[in-house]
Structure 1
Amino acid sequence: MADPIRFYLDFASPYAYFAAQQIDGIGQEFGREVEWRPILMWAVLKAHGIAAPMDAPVKRAYMLNDMERSAAFFGMPYRKPVKLPLSSHLAGRLFYAVREQDSDKAMALARRLLPAFFAEQRDISDTTTLSELAAEVGISPETVAEAMQGTVGRAGLEAAVAEAVTAGVVGSPHFLVDGEGFFGADRLPQLRWFLGGGWT
């Protein structure tokens, strides 16, 4: 069986939101499993000694405009998030803790978090909001509380960040397949080309 596509993403990354609607279909097209790996992009960049992309005012202004333009390009609903940047550590812990018990619910949560933040202006760093979103996919409040503060979710997220650093992840989304890395939603056409044998 062919190796999977690893999809590194930060739940607070608009470009991960844009990519998420396509990557599973690309995996199916080429018979590749897609492994979602939520990470904290700020932690990965810090480990690499790379400045956060929105630190410089001129780049922040460009990116805020580009997010709206990219949403229109991809034909996706978009409303300016309640805050950017935002640390998605609680959402990431929740994902990994839930995945230990029920991978389907974890994936349903991941797919729910992105539009909640980027299309509905929900604050995914807020514990109440996370509990509400988790409930929508069948995750109990008790599970949510333990997941966000317990050791399982914390360890899972820390391991994913460490893996991303080792793998050379430089942004979100970042796709890794057959030893090749592809950074950005705009690299999806190139990823499809690569999977089709376009570069040998």
Structure 2
Amino acid sequence: MTKTVEFYFDLGSPTTYLAHTQLAKICADTQSELIYIPMLLGGVFKATGNASPAVIPAKGRYMFQDLDRFAKRYGVQLRFNPHFPINTLILMRAATGIQLHQPQRFAEFVDCLFRALWVEGRNLNDPQTIAAVLTENGFDPEEVLALSNDESVKAKLKENTEAAIKRGVFGAPSMFIGDQLFFGQDRLDFVEEALRQD
């Protein structure tokens, strides 16, 4: 039976971006299925009493140095976004809408937004910048905005977030293999190990 990785993600997390750059290859190498599940990290933080490490200055400084180390190890670009923190409500609704209504373009959609945030350092708090990024990547901003305002899409993102909290998620990235939770992009070796076990 094919193993699956359920990847609970929010675009506004740099650690989630790093996990995103690696998980497809890990799943391909282990003949596993990768399932992206959009959630709202702000909702998870509120429900669990957690917060971004960046709100603690010493921890934030360390985290950004550590992320840079991992980016070099993975051979990927990472630039800390000068507009952080990003309010991802519209972005995550949009990702949920694309996943539901244009699944064939979902990977491309998530890629372009992760790249805009964590490679190009674009200000995705700004609706005009979001529209520009979408246009540059072949998406219709008005169509994407309509999806993000769709009541069924809003409900699905809320449902995903509530399900994540019920499963014990307290931050992003969070990955499940069966009932096992793996938190953080620095736990990908354990994810790969679990996928290789019989």
Which residue of structure 2 lines up, in the alignment, with residue 181 of structure 1?
181
C-alpha distance in structure 2 between counterparts of 1:110 and 1:117, whole Å: 11
1:15 counterpart = 2:10: no
- Cα deviation, 1:70-107, whole Å, max 9, x if unaligned, reads 22232211222022222211110111112222102122
C-alpha distance in structure 2 between counterparts of 1:170 and 1:156, whole Å: 19
* Matching of residues 15-164 of structure 1 within 5 Å: 15-164=15-164
Structure 1 unpaired stretches of 5+? none
Aligned residue for 2:35, secondary structure, equals: strand
Q: Which moved more, 1:15-24 or 1:52-61?
A: 52-61
C-alpha distance in structure 2 between counterparts of 1:196 and 1:99, whole Å: 28
Q: Which moved more, 1:41-50 or 1:127-136?
A: 127-136
Residue 25 (structure 1) shift: 1.7
Aligned residue for 1:36, secondary structure, equals: strand
Residue 142 (structure 1) shift: 2.5
C-alpha distance in structure 2 between counterparts of 1:156 and 1:134, whole Å: 22
Counterpart of 2:33 in structure 1: which amino acid? E
Same amino acid, percent of matched pairs: 28
RMSD over aligned Cα atoms: 1.9
C-alpha distance in structure 1 between counterparts of 2:84 and 2:145, whole Å: 24
Aligned residue for 1:181, secondary structure, equals: strand
C-alpha distance in structure 2 between counterparts of 1:68 and 1:90, whole Å: 27
Aligned residue for 1:54, secondary structure, equals: helix
Residue 144 (structure 1) shift: 1.7
Counterpart of 2:158 in structure 1: which amino acid? E
Contact 2:32 2:195 (8 Å CA) reproduced: no
Counterpart of 2:93 in structure 1: which amino acid? R
C-alpha distance in structure 1 between counterparts of 2:78 and 2:36, whole Å: 22
Residue 136 (structure 1) shift: 4.0
Aligned residue for 1:121, secondary structure, equals: coil
Counterpart of 1:6 in structure 2: which amino acid? E
Q: Which moved more, 1:174-183 or 1:130-139?
A: 130-139
Counterpart of 1:95 in structure 2: which amino acid? A
Q: TM-score, normalised by structure 1?
A: 0.89
C-alpha spacing 1:133/1:105, structure 2 compared with 1 (3 Å): farther
C-alpha spacing 1:30/1:68, structure 2 compared with 1 (3 Å): closer
Matched residue count: 198
Q: Which moved more, 1:131-140 or 1:90-99?
A: 131-140
- Cα deviation, 1:38-90, whole Å, max 9, x if unaligned, reads 22222112211223322222212222322323222322112220222222111
C-alpha distance in structure 2 between counterparts of 1:156 and 1:39, whole Å: 9
Counterpart of 1:61 in structure 2: which amino acid? R
Aligned residue for 1:182, secondary structure, equals: strand
